[in-house]
Structure 1
Amino acid sequence: MNMKLSGLIVVFLLLCVERRSSGMSHPKPSCSYPPSQWCRSLEIAIACKVQKQCMEVNATRPNQSVPPVSVTLYYESLCPESRSFITQQLFPTWTMLQDIMTVTLVPYGNAKEIQSANSPFSCQHGEPECRGNMIEACIIHLTSHSAFQIINCMESSADVVSAARPCVQLYAPSVSWSSVNSCVTGHTGNQLMHAHAAMTRALSPPHTHVPWVTFNGEFSEENEVKAMSSLFSLVCQLYKGVKPPVCTGATVRLNRGFC
């Protein structure tokens, strides 16, 4: 969710408070989408009655002909350093710069494929991490736009695995937990993890630790150091188009009408 959308939510809440305080009754909003998705499509904007505000937000977005910065994170669901990077660097940066960056999450890390009747994978932090990795792989597969919010919700929790179900219910209410569980316990989950294993093994240079971050498909120690200290600044630096106002600190003036 970007800064303008955050302001929109505040205005909406203030209007609700004013109506309640004045004794006016009003129906519950019909919008079933989380605020982060209000401007994803015209249909959602109309359903949530925010089409005018979304048009204003879209008017300030960067030139879409310039490719966004592609950030790919290779990580493990229970690795403390991976969790810190997701919750303190990657997700906050994406929240502010999602118009100029894309994020690909690859939950696998230092896991290994093994020949076993019980589980085809072994993980650095044991079976709970293997389950967490597969749950997050299935969430990415099933929830599309909401996946990053759900995974950040999980990684921010005291118990990553136990938080999965309520986080899915919060950010992707249309996705049933049974579909996630079927993916995890069925053939699809193993296929997804095998694909993540192949992606991780194909890294050049090979990864030596997690979190391991590539930018536009490439890894460099210089970018890794910058990403761990200020990913936001690095993404602004790497973007080849006109920097958005949030990168430059410039103020944005929108034409607004008043009655």
Structure 2
Amino acid sequence: MNRHFLSCVIFILGFIMVTATIIPRIDGNEFLKISIFFSSMCPGSKDFITRHLYPTYKGLRSKIVIEWVLYQEESNPIIPNDDHPKFYCEHGPKECDFNRYIACALHQRKGQDRDVNFINCVMLTFDFDKCLRELGYKRSQFQICIRNQGYSLLSYHMQKINRVKPKRLRYLPAVIYNDNDNENKDFLSLNKFLDTVCHQLKAPLPDECHKRRDILEHPLYVDEE
């Protein structure tokens, strides 16, 4: 992807489980799958996760399945005698390190609720020790993962990223629902996340949606297909 097109900003109109975590089957649209492409030090990612996703998650959790995809670019192939691939991140090497830490936390498979809480904690504080401690992650397992698996997990994220059209990820965060790429829904999600999700859920709707009955027939949420 051309780095020029990756602009980590908060849009005015408003990002996988990337490990082997088990995801519930989506039978009859019982669950809405939400793939979030984000990066640890991206201001837009922080805004979306802490101000839009996290505050509404508890009310929607029974109806959604979240895939987290950490965005970075592979800057060059693995070279002989090098111990890991090289990655490029918009906000520098520290962002790639933070992405690796988050990937290792996800890899511990603590479940969707704890993953959401952990990522929200990290995006708010960048205090990994505090977030690990408060959310019950074993630091010893975390350190082993960072040392032995961190870069391979980022490479796994890259496989997911490479399946998406490059122009689709010209900004972060990016949101894809049920693997169907609809950029209009993505834009709406950035600051109308609850509205966009509720419009796509099947009855019975969670109480969180019934608090906003007006959104379901709003012309903004009429599918283009």
| TM-score, normalised via structure 2 length | 0.73
Higher relative contact order by CA 8 Å / sep ≥ 6: 1 or 2? Answer: 2
Question: What is the match of residue 165 of structure 1?
Answer: 129
Question: What is the match of residue 200 of structure 1?
Answer: 161
2: distance between equivalents of 1:225 and 1:96?
22
Matched, 1:75 2:38: yes
Contact 2:185 2:196 in 1 (8 A): yes
Root-mean-square deviation over aligned CA pairs: 2.0
Contact 2:44 2:172 in 1 (8 A): yes
Secondary structure of the 1:156 match is helix
Which of 1 and 2 has greater Rg?
A: 1
1: distance between equivalents of 2:29 and 2:180?
18
2: distance between equivalents of 1:178 and 1:114?
31
Contact 1:110 1:209 in 2 (8 A): no
Matched, 1:102 2:58: no
Matched, 1:155 2:123: yes
Secondary structure of the 1:67 match is coil
Question: What is the match of residue 217 of structure 1?
Answer: 179
Contact 1:86 1:152 in 2 (8 A): yes
Contact 2:36 2:173 in 1 (8 A): yes
Q: Percent identity?
A: 23
Paired amino acid for 1:197: M
Q: Which structure 2 residues correspond to residues 1-259 of structure 1 after superposition, within 5 A?
A: 66-107=29-70, 109-115=71-77, 117=82, 120=85, 121-145=87-111, 146-157=114-125, 160=126, 163-172=127-136, 175-186=137-148, 188-204=149-165, 206-249=168-211
Q: Which segment is superposed worse, 129-138 or 188-197? A: 188-197
2: distance between equivalents of 1:147 and 1:246?
21
2: distance between equivalents of 1:144 and 1:74?
20
**TM-superposed deviation, 1:114:** 2.1
Give the count of matched residue pairs.
Answer: 179
1: distance between equivalents of 2:124 and 2:109?
19
Q: Is the helix fraction higher in 1 or 2?
A: 1
Contact 1:113 1:197 in 2 (8 A): no
| TM-score, normalised via structure 1 length | 0.64
